[in-house]
């Protein structure tokens, strides 16, 4: 069962000495709203502002909801419509299995979280955490450290020289809202897209059955059509992770040059 680390427990309830502001803030459990969302300067520096005082957030749903993830999704959408009646033109967009993207003000974020938490235990809450929806940027110069390539080079002198590499580009959903908005699915960048390498002279071939040899060669690119193999999976991720197949293992081992060659 998927788990999420618990937030800190909230203070005791019904303290008569608390004023209205303190009571309101007490209902926002520590850790539920990312610290970056509470500071206007940080929001602006991170490029989160969309218009006026509204900014983009990602609402992570509670995986421990009593009615599991489908129940959490339905209850969150009901909570959103009930709590933020004036935000009807800003419907949450489901961007991953347990994430919704919303455009809200700080007050709306706090109202939403407060309504979700008040009088509910962990199994009834729909929101686990509200994150900033940061702009995605390229960090090619940092990718070596991200995948521990620098450690592999230092420890094992694994430079990658002479190694054949492959990209398994599986399960891209052409109906995803991003591609409709930006119209960048079809060969916009001339690189690796939903249809393989486009900016180089790449050979085209279907994924081969196990034990059928590939004609891989150093210095050449190959587009292997895996539509007949990588095809199972529901929304929103589609077949992106449907890669556990003997044919895929054979393809990767062949690319690495560690399969028996036909005599």
Q: What domains lie within the chain, and their CATH numbers?
A: 20-132 (3.30.70), 164-255 (no CATH)
Q: Please, what is the average pLDDT of the chain?
A: 77
Q: How confident is the model at residue 6 (pLDDT cuts 50, 70, 90)?
A: low
Q: What's the average model confidence in pLDDT over 35-59?
A: 77
For residue range 50-102, what is the model confidence (pLDDT) as tens digits?
Answer: 677 788 899 999 999 999 999 999 999 999 999 998 665 688 999 888 999 99
Distance, CA of 254 to CA of 248 (rounded, Å):
10
CA-only gyration radius of the chain, Å: 24
Distance, CA of 221 to CA of 192 (rounded, Å):
11
Q: How confident is the model at residue 38 (pLDDT cuts 50, 70, 90)?
A: confident
- Cis peptide leading into 255, omega within 30 of 0? no
Residue 123, number of CB atoms within 10 A of its CB: 11
Q: For residue 195, what pLDDT is reported?
A: 65
Q: How confident is the model at residue 12 (pLDDT cuts 50, 70, 90)?
A: very low
CB 186 within 8 A of CB 175: no
Q: For residue 70, what pLDDT is reported?
A: 93
What are the tokens at 183?
Answer: 């119209």
Q: For residue 240, what pLDDT is reported?
A: 73
What are the tokens at 219?
Answer: 């210095």
The answer for residues whose C-beta is within 8 angstroms of residue 158's C-beta and 6 or more apart is: 149, 152
Q: What's the average model confidence in pLDDT over 111-128?
A: 92
The pTM for the full model equals 0.49
Helix orientation angle between 68-83 and 106-117, rounded to the nearest 10 degrees: 130
pLDDT of residue 162 exceeding 50, the answer is: yes
DSSP calls for 193-261 = ETTEE-SS-EEEEEPPPTTPPP---TT-EEEEE-TTTS----TTTTTTT---SHHHHHHHHHHTT-SPP
The answer for residues whose C-beta is within 8 angstroms of residue 72's C-beta and 6 or more apart is: 61, 62, 63, 65, 98, 126
pLDDT of residue 218 exceeding 60, the answer is: yes
Q: What's the average model confidence in pLDDT over 223-232?
A: 85
């Amino acid at each position: 069962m998927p788990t999420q680390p618990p937030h800190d427990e909230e203070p005791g309830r019904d303290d008569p000495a608390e004023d209205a502001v303190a009571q309101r803030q007490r209902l926002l459990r520590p850790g539920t709203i990312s610290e970056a969302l509470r500071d206007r300067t940080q929001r602006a520096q991170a490029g989160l502002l969309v218009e006026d005082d509204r900014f983009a957030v990602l609402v992570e749903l509670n995986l421990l909801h009593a009615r599991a993830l489908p129940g959490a999704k339905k209850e969150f959408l009901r909570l959103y419509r009930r709590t933020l009646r004036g935000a009807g033109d800003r419907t949450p967009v489901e961007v991953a299995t347990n994430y919704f993207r919303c455009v809200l003000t700080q007050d709306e974020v706090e109202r939403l979280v407060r309504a979700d938490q008040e009088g509910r235990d962990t199994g009834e809450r729909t929101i686990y955490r509200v994150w900033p929806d940061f702009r995605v940027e390229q960090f090619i110069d940092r990718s070596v450290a991200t995948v521990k390539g620098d450690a592999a080079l230092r420890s094992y002198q694994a430079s990658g020289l002479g190694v054949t590499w492959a990209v398994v580009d599986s399960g891209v959903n052409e109906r995803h809202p991003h591609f409709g908005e930006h119209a960048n699915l079809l060969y916009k960048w001339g690189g690796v897209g939903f249809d393989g390498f486009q900016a180089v002279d790449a050979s085209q071939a279907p994924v081969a059955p196990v034990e059928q040899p590939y004609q891989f060669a150093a210095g050449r690119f190959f587009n292997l059509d895996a539509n007949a193999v990588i095809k199972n999976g529901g929304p929103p991720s589609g077949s992106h992770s449907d890669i556990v197949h003997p044919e895929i293992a054979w393809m990767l081992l062949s690319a690495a040059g560690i399969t028996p060659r036909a005599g």
